[in-house]
Amino acid sequence: MELQDTAEEAEYRARLRAWIAEHLPQELVGLGTRTGRLPLLRQWSRALSDAGYVGLTWPAEYGGGGGRYALEGIILEELARADAPQHLGTIGLGMAGPTIMVHGTGEQKAAHLQRILQAEEIWCQGFSEPGAGSDLASVRTRAELRGDVFLVNGQKVWSSYAHLADWCILVTLSDPDAARYRGLTYLLVDMHSPGVEVRPLRQMTGDADFNEIFFTDVEVPAANVLGEVGGGWQVAMTTLLHERATLGFALTGLLDSGIRRLLALAAANRDAAEPWLAQIAHEWIQLQALKLTAHRSLGQLDRTGMPGPEGSVIKLAWSESSQRMTKLARQLLGETAVLDDGIWNYQQLRSRGNTIEAGTSEILRNIVAERVLQLPRSR
């Protein structure tokens, strides 16, 4: 057990910190997961890739850093410390890429992996639908085989980055007569294809971080099926597992900058903070616990190459912490809390999405109950 950076890690962290200080444009500081300032954000993502701070967890054979999860953790921590925005290619790097590595053909790997790594392809995720939120097996977006193309028709929602994306990982219904879970097919869809329409979806904050995607007679080559026709469920599960793999570090990073703000707010408003000190510390303690647990879960990744269920635990606890922290901060603001400060008011609203996105808390509790505690299925 060694709960501090090794010499190599410490040096890596120091170099990275200096690099961020030199390269991070001031305009991007504090952007969080929002996707404003697009040209700058693209430049920043490219710069991170060029400097080698992307894809550390990817195997070396695909141009990655060879599964160095600890360094990936450091990168996410340091980016959060600097309040830097997320890499635009986060869905390609964290979800599409790893899924293509597991299920992709040689051609698919050659076509996409390198380009994802170099931030040349931005990906989005087409899983959720108006009628299929947590219940992925009930997707209705149809894919009908016509010769050597699938004709795709349907609608997806809650897709981050779709307005910028070149490609989409799309879960479709290819066989409506098949037993549940067996009629799904996972497609790699070129977002520049005719018939793809992206509409921003405005959420309660007033921002549009997410999109709706409409597919009308979109032709997708049959060669773009990932895995087997009818095997989309298994492929999608790989994606979701990876979604929560290094998510822990990204999430604790976001919470870290929030907690630092909260402490600064408390230090500047001592009288207002006095009744809330225990709760303030509780959130700081929760953050330390989440960070430590993210590191603890790396043991599993290192051993098996597959993420363990800890990701679900961290996501669950993080989302609730994020909501409590925001409410707490607004208690400290006193009567000015009725005015929009652009920070805590935004967070108050945005954090309501935290227990819904990337697996609702209810679904995550089911996952932990069934896969970790081995309790009988609830449905």
Residues that bind another protein (CB under 8 A): 1-6, 9, 29-30, 70, 73, 83, 205-207, 257, 260-261, 263-270, 273, 277-282, 284-286, 288-290, 292-293, 295-296, 298-299, 310, 313, 316-317, 336, 339-344, 362, 365-366, 368-369, 372-378
Contact 199/210 with Cβ under 8 angstroms? no
CB of 87 to another protein, least distance (A): 21
Two tokens, residue 280 = 């303030």
Pick 42 or 365: Cβ nearer another protein = 365
9 has catalytic annotation: no
CB of 118 to another protein, least distance (A): 29
Which amino acid is located at 285 in the chain?
A: I
CB of 339 to another protein, least distance (A): 7
Angle at alpha carbon of residue 303, lines to 1 and 186, rounded to 5°: 140
CB of 36 to another protein, least distance (A): 8
- Distance, CA of 220 to CA of 215 (rounded, Å): 11
Contact 99/169 with Cβ under 8 angstroms? yes
Which of the following is catalytic: 72, 129, 243, 310? 243
Pick 179 or 278: Cβ nearer another protein = 278
DSSP per position, 247-272: HHHHHHHHHHHHHHHHHHHHHH-HHH
Pick 50 or 340: Cβ nearer another protein = 340
Pick 66 or 275: Cβ nearer another protein = 275
- Distance, CA of 272 to CA of 265 (rounded, Å): 10
Catalytic residues: 243
